[in-house]
């Protein structure tokens, strides 16, 4: 479903992402795990066609990232943490509906999706309210619903639980599991070991723009003879910092 081939991004003298490659099978959850500034967001922005790669490409849902960006955009849903981009004067429903219309959906299909998403994300109590005075967690759930209202087959989530309280985090985690059960293919970035262990089938550890390890969680634990993912991560990143 997703195949990334030698993807790089340079900003003047800075190599933000350095020749990374990985695959994500259909219906799997792939975690990009790394510290702040490791290159996670830049990688997702390239895959979402928001940034043009310096070198390399990717095949996303059968479309080439460089040659067929419009087709790629039709296959994906994207959410970047801290950037909800919601319209404060519109209600939660209207924000989601507007994005559905931009994606060519009928109002009937939009309403069906909003009812489903509102229930899954526990937004029924405020779906008709304007979002301007919402908490961060409420806004994040609306942004999440808006990003996937068009029912894409592939989803990119960048730190989707950043800054959320425990209850909101649990709801988002539950929702991601539901998406997986529906056969969606998901890449999400995180610096939370606990989150990655809960949700991911496979993980790519990225450090200073380089993909230093790609494996299943079980494979990592077996390779490093260690059950604690945090210890494995620190060991890998520490070695690269020496």
Are 211 and 180 spatial neighbours (Cβ–Cβ below 8 Å)?
no
Residue 241 has a pLDDT of 55
CATH number of domain containing 160 = 3.40.50.300
Residue 239 has a pLDDT of 59
Mean pLDDT in consecutive groups of 10 residues from the start of the chain, 242 residues: 96 94 96 91 95 96 95 91 80 96 94 95 95 91 92 93 86 91 93 88 94 93 89 80 52
- Helix (H) and strand (E) counts in the chain: 9, 10
Residue 67 has a pLDDT of 96
3-state class (DSSP) for residue 216: strand
Residue 230 has a pLDDT of 87
- Cα 83 from Cα 56, distance rounded (Å): 27
Query: Strands, DSSP E only, in the chain?
Result: 2-11, 14-24, 29-33, 55-60, 63-64, 76-80, 154-158, 185-190, 202-207, 210-216
Residue 229 has a pLDDT of 87
Enclosing domain of residue 230: 2-241
Q: What is the pTM of this model?
A: 0.90
> How many domains does the chain fold into?
1
| SS percent in the chain: helix, strand, coil, step 5 | 40, 25, 30
Residue 60 has a pLDDT of 97
């Amino acid at each position: 479903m997703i195949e990334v081939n030698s993807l790089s991004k340079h900003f003047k003298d800075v190599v933000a992402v350095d020749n990374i490659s990985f695959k994500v099978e259909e219906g799997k959850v792939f975690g990009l795990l790394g510290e702040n500034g490791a290159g996670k967001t830049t990688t997702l922005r390239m895959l979402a066609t928001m940034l043009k790669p310096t070198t390399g490409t990717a095949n996303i849902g059968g479309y080439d990232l460089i040659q067929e960006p419009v087709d790629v955009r039709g296959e994906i849903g994207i959410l970047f943490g801290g950037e909800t981009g919601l319209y404060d004067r519109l209600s939660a429903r209207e924000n989601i509906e507007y994005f559905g219309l931009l994606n060519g959906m009928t109002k009937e299909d939009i309403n069906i999706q909003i009812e489903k998403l509102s229930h899954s994300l526990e937004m029924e109590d405020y779906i008709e309210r304007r979002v301007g005075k919402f908490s961060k967690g409420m806004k994040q759930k609306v942004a999440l619903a808006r990003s996937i209202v068009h029912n894409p087959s592939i989803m990119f989530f960048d730190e989707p639980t950043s800054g959320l309280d425990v209850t909101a985090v649990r709801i988002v985690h539950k929702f991601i599991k539901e998406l997986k059960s529906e056969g969606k293919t998901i890449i999400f970035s995180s610096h939370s070991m606990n989150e990655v262990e809960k949700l991911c089938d496979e993980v790519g550890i990225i450090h200073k723009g380089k993909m230093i390890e790609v494996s299943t969680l079980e494979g990592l634990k077996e390779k490093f003879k260690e059950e604690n993912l945090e210890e494995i991560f620190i060991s890998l990143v520490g070695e690269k910092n020496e």
